[in-house]
Amino acid sequence: MTTRPTQILVMGVWRNVKTKGALNMANTPKNPGSEVGNRGGIYQEIGPRGGKIDNYVTVSDGRRLPPTSESGHTWKPVHVTPDSPDHGRRK
């Protein structure tokens, strides 16, 4: 399996991210409304049978994932941001 860079729009700037193998064990889908803890970053919407939906969100550490576009969909991490000394704290 090869990795290929994909460009996604993050806060008005196009970024290159790896879509395959970017994360190992933490690459499991998360339900909308679940907290990401210190795994903030870019998440992609996934359909009920595992298909990728062209919908991305950026979630900060310690925040909850937003609702998906349809019931039964989940969020899958694409790129996790590095930890910072104050990760997971709300200001």
In the chain the beta strands, taken as DSSP E runs, fall at: 5-10, 13-18, 41-46, 52-59, 74-80
Q: Is residue 46 part of a domain?
A: yes
Range of 34's domain?
22-80
pTM confidence score: 0.65
Query: Contact at 8 Å (CB) between 30 and 39?
Result: no
- Is 17 domain-assigned? no
In a domain, 60, yes or no: yes
State the total domains in the chain. Answer: 1
Check whether 22 has a pLDDT greater than 50. no
Is residue 13 in a domain? Answer: no
Whether residue 16 is contained in a domain is answered as no
Mean pLDDT, the chain, whole residue set: 79
Would you place residue 85 in the very low, low, confident or very high pLDDT band (cuts 50, 70, 90)?
low
pLDDT digits (tens, 9 = 90+) for 26-62: 678 899 999 998 888 999 999 999 999 999 999 998 8
Q: Would you say residue 6 lies in a domain? A: no
Residue 90 in any domain: the answer is no
Q: State whether the Cα torsion 31-35-39-41 is positive or negative.
A: positive
In a domain, 48, yes or no: yes
pLDDT, greater one: 3 or 37: 37
